[in-house]
A and B are shown apart, each in its own frame.
Chain A
């Protein structure tokens, strides 16, 4: 219990306002990069971060985040949503569509006054102060030191209180037994789930599947990186251009930021 408490406590301070800290030492970085090459040679991915070496824990020096430029996101494009579903093996079930899990969805917006239309992907916003973590009775909803919000399905009892608490409608409840999981992305009946920021890829030094797909499809509307590293692309961008957080009024300090809304 206390162990879990300290997990969360540590990471709450992981928000950008808790001070930007230097990124991992270069030595570690090189070791990690070679590690990636050795483990999985020949992957044609842009390595945006270094894989964490075996045995090293996620650190609160890092805070993973996304910057989404809604002006470059087209309503018809579903590349990110499709890539997310494929990567995490989130497939439609046998029930009604509203019972299917959706970790990432495209939302089309229309300004009620001016009529301006915007399209953007919406997923778990990986808040610095996540309401789902606050309300979860068992501590299954948790935040990793690097800010990624996850559901510990080992102790989730499926009460769905976190779904009630999430302001972004970003969580789904698994309504039936599953069999076709990705071995690296366990998920199952009776538990709640949501975007993991592709934690299994990020830990290997890859980008989340949605970001990769957006890039590959030429959209280039999504940028992933470490918000705490002042030299990262994402930190440089949000320091220079206007971006906003969804429901900023709730002061949850999400790690996902949007441009153009």
Chain B
């Protein structure tokens, strides 16, 4: 019984997966301040979460300010030209890629996804 179910499942996946993946377009993001990032793109793609995680502990728990890596600094450059946010849709930097790779994004449960000016930050 279980075997048969598994077999069906595998068949179903084999049938569905490739065309579905082909249909999802690569995210096309347009960011507000393009330029030099803190590390090369391939490093950033692979390791940005580690950098952020390492830095979050140093900033919050040890009080380090003005460090090289900072989520707010990410947002300042990478927020969308139109909405000023890294969230919102496929063309927004964080959400676009995270929904493409289907990985849950937890930062913005608490962090403000908009750049300082758009969010109306105090100096």
Contact = CB atoms under 8 A, between A and B. Distances in A.
* A and B directly contacting (CB within 8 A): yes
Interface of A: 3-4, 7, 40, 43, 51-58, 87, 142, 144-146, 150, 152-154, 177-178, 180-184, 186-191, 199, 203-204
Interface stretch (B16-24, B30-38, B107-115): B107-115
Given A40-B123, A52-B65, A150 B60 contact: yes
A184 B56 contact: no
Nearest to B76: A183
Interface residues of B, number: 24
B63 A203 contact: yes
A58 B64 CA distance: 7
Interface of B: 56-58, 60-67, 72, 75, 109-112, 114-116, 119, 121-123
Contacts of B121: 182-184
Contacts of B66: 53-55
A180 B123 CA distance: 16
A237 B93 CA distance: 51
B122 A182 contact: yes
A181 B61 contact: no
Contacts of A142: 61
Nearest to A89: B112
- Nearest 5 Cβ contacts at the A-B interface: A54-B66, A58-B63, A188-B110, A186-B110, A183-B112
Contacts of B114: 183
Given A43-B123, A188-B109, A189-B109, A183 B116 contact: yes
B18 to A, nearest CB: 36
Nearest to B106: A154
Contacts of B67: 54-55
